[in-house]
Amino acid sequence: MSISQRLKEITDKLPSDVDLVAVSKTKPESDILEAYSIGHRNFGENKVQDLVAKYEHLPKDINWHFIGHLQTNKVKYIAPFIHLVHAVDSEKLLRTLQKEALKNKRTISCLLQAKVAKEESKFGLSFPDIEALLAKKNDYPNVKIVGLMAMGTNTSDQEEVKEEFSAMNTFFMALKNEEFKVLSIGMSNDWPIAVDQGSNMIRVGSSIFGARNY
């Protein structure tokens, strides 16, 4: 199956209120253009250098999502154009986003990354840490915190992933409002579970573009 066929197969199954970020990391620009040619506009990358190169070469109406761990010293390279930063996991990063957004005379939208997976992952905030950051959001007027992001445990135990996503959804729903409305959970192997548990943004790479060779 081609990229556009696989993409269409997934989008056809998605409820209309769920956005699909096509994760194009490590993949060539020609792959992105194939998805673009059938109308897809949301793409995700996790390396600043790759993202900037692709942004420069590809059509300017693409919405670029930064989905990985973002180092503060690299924010300046993506601040002029980034559509959504998915994984804000520290107040330091929030401060840097504020500074660079102001420099570029724009507002940068972001999600706070929650840590729900049982496996040891380096990044992500606890629910109390997220509440503490949200209480300070007025200190960052050029940053718009529009929701939450998380990664489920990488396991074949569907019940475990379901529990993690369900906990995310419960926490998200208690905070949800006009501005804070995005729940970014679900990847190639677990997006149907995530959508069942209330996700409205999934990040899918290998199911669209094929396996990655690093």
Ligand X SMILES: *Cc1c(COP(=O)(O)O)cnc(C)c1O
Considering only the stretches 93-101, 103-111, 161-169, 204-212, report the one whose residues sit in contact with ligand X under the rule CB under 6 A: 204-212
* Rounded Cα gap, residues 160 and 142, in angstroms: 37
- Closest to ligand X by CB, 104 or 155: 155
Helix axes 29-37, 3-13, angle to 10 degrees: 50
Cβ nearer to ligand X, comparing 59 with 210: 210
- Contact segment (CB under 6 A) with ligand X among 2-10, 123-131, 171-179, 203-211 equals 203-211
Going from the C-alpha of 152 to that of each of 22, 74, 90, 99, 104, the distances in angstroms are 18, 26, 20, 31, 34
Q: Which string of x and - marks every residue 37-76 that binds ligand X (by CB under 6 A)?
A: ---------x--------------------xx--------
Q: Is 145 in the site for ligand X (CB under 6 A)?
A: no
User: What's the one-letter identity of residue 62?
Assistant: I
Q: Which is nearer to ligand X, 1 or 132 (CB)?
A: 1
- Name which position in 205, 210, 213, 214 contacts ligand X (CB under 6 A): 205
Output the CA angle 140-151-77, nearest 5 degrees. 45
Distance of closest approach, residue 141 Cβ to ligand X, in angstroms:
27
- 3-state DSSP call for residue 115? coil
Give which of 120, 163, 119, 126 is closest to 148, Cα–Cα: 126
Question: According to CB under 6 A, which one of 35, 187, 193, 194 is a site residue for ligand X?
Answer: 187
Quote the tokens at residue 2. Answer: 């081609």
Does residue 192 touch ligand X according to CB under 6 A? no
